[in-house]
């Protein structure tokens, strides 16, 4: 373990123990390095690393603070890593999306409220006679509404992190594969009906079909998609 890694673990322990809480200002660098038995350079490197993953917030001229540690903030770093994935790893990300989306829709089926059901129905209805760009935007909103209805902040955050990478694949599919607009609308409609019926199994089955269509498209067209991006 490097000195920087050891410093990160010590700061992490301060947070886990409650010595540092969300929103707290960290002690001055000289005081903290002495308390933790670290060199100031090692402490600075640890702070930089934790700032990158949104655990710490360095405010120039003010000090270093623990962030809110909210799931949406902590999962932002996942999005950065996702953007770097290519080739076979892009397929693996799509598989992860399928797992998370089906889990989300199962939870949503027993938690969703009537207002969200109405919003989902509106997203489906608004997709009539639209171009592929508009369809993809509706598709992204549709899936985020379901994730939010699942009532799990980490699930929403992880799906948000995956979204930019998978949205590009969905857009490419919509532009190049015939009948995809009609099929997407039909699958969305079936998912909404399953959610209205409060049927987790049916909702999960339709979501699996829906995501696997994109996944299979990516598998067959991976090389051309990577070149286009």
pLDDT digits (tens, 9 = 90+) for 29-66: 999 999 888 889 989 999 999 998 889 999 988 999 99
Average pLDDT rounded to a whole number, residues 153-177: 79
**How high is the pLDDT of residue 35?**
87
State the Cα–Cα distance between residues 216 and 183, nearest whole angstrom.
14
- Note the pLDDT tens digit of each residue in 140-152: 999 999 999 999 9
- Cα–Cα dist 37/152, whole Å: 38
Please determine, for residue 227, whether its predicted confidence score (pLDDT) is greater than 60. no
- The pLDDT assigned to 52 comes to 84
* Coil/strand/helix, residue 166: helix
74-228 homologous superfamily: GntR ligand-binding domain-like (1.20.120.530)
The pLDDT assigned to 115 comes to 97
Give me the chain's average pLDDT, please: 86
Q: Yes or no: say if 225 and 166 are a contact pair by the CB < 8 Å rule.
A: no
| DSSP track, 16-82 | HTTSS-TTPBPPPHHHHHHHHT--HHHHHHHHHHHHHTTSEEEETTTEEEE----HHHHTHHHHHHH
Residue 43: both structure tokens together:
């402490």
Return the pLDDT at 224.
Answer: 60
Rounded distance between C-alpha atoms, residue 125 and residue 121, angstroms: 6
Fold designation for 3-68 = Arc Repressor Mutant, subunit A (1.10.10)
Nearest to 72 by CA among 152, 154, 4: 154
Strands (E), the chain: 56-59, 63-66
Task: Identify which of 80, 21, 33 has the alpha carbon closest to the alpha carbon of residue 53.
Answer: 80
User: Per-residue pLDDT for 203 more than 90?
Assistant: yes
Residue 64: what pLDDT? 94
pLDDT, position 81: 60
pLDDT tens digits for 65-123?
999 888 777 766 665 566 655 556 778 888 888 999 999 999 999 999 999 999 999 99
Contact criterion met (CB below 8 Å) for 10 and 41: no
pLDDT reported for residue 111 = 97
Query: First CA to last CA across the chain, in angstroms?
Result: 37
Domain segments of the chain: what residues?
3-68, 74-228
The token pair that represents 209 in the structure block: 């079909």
């Amino acid at each position: 373990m490097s000195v920087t890694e050891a410093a990160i673990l010590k700061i992490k322990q301060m947070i886990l123990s409650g010595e540092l809480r969300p929103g707290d200002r960290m002690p001055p660098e000289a005081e903290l390095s002495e308390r933790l038995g670290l060199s100031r350079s090692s402490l600075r490197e640890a702070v930089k690393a934790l700032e990158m993953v949104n655990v710490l917030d360095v405010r120039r001229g003010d000090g270093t603070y623990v962030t809110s540690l909210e799931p949406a903030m902590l999962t932002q770093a996942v999005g950065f890593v996702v953007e770097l994935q290519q080739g076979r790893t892009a397929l693996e990300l799509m598989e992860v999306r399928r797992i998370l989306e089906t889990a989300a829709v199962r939870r949503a089926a027993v938690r969703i409220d009537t207002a969200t059901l109405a919003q989902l129905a509106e997203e489906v209805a608004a997709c009539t006679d639209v171009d592929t760009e508009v369809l993809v935007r509706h598709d992204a909103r549709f899936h985020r509404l379901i994730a939010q209805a699942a009532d799990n902040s980490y699930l929403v955050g992880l799906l948000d992190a995956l979204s930019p990478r998978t949205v590009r694949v969905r857009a490419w599919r919509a532009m190049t594969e015939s009948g995809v607009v009609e099929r997407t609308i039909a699958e969305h409609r079936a998912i909404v009906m399953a959610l209205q019926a409060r049927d987790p199994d049916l909702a999960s089955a339709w979501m699996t079909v829906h995501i696997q269509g994109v996944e299979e498209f990516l598998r067959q067209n991976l090389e051309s998609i990577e070149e286009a991006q």
